[in-house]
């Protein structure tokens, strides 16, 4: 069985979480809040799936350089997502 790259489960979890969050946000009439909640829920789901896969040996281990690159990208994506949520919330509230 081919080993997966680190972060694949996290990406899938966040994608699923955002879809769920949009549905929650539409029901609450606040899409921005729904997306933020969905992203947090998805990150939790993805992290849990990734930890289980690591225990089973399904994910290859990273070199120290790759680990540093992944950590840097994680913070960049987190910051971009936060800014996007703030912009969407501002746009929704200004209407």
Three-state SS sequence of 75-89: HHHHHHHHHHHHHHH
pLDDT digits (tens, 9 = 90+) for 27-78: 888 888 888 888 888 888 888 888 888 888 887 777 888 888 888 988 898 8
pTM for the full predicted model = 0.60
Angle, in degrees to the nearest 10, between helices 8-28 and 31-56 = 150
Task: Note the pLDDT of residue 90.
Answer: 85
């Amino acid at each position: 069985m081919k080993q997966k790259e680190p972060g694949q489960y996290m990406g899938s979890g966040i994608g699923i979480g955002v879809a769920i969050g949009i549905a929650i946000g539409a029901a609450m009439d606040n899409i921005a809040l729904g997306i933020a909640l969905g992203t947090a829920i998805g990150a939790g789901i993805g992290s849990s799936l990734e930890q289980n896969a690591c225990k089973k040996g399904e994910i290859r281990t990273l070199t120290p350089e790759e680990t540093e690159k992944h950590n840097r990208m994680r913070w960049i994506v987190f910051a971009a997502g936060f800014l996007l949520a703030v912009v969407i919330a501002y746009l929704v509230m200004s209407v």
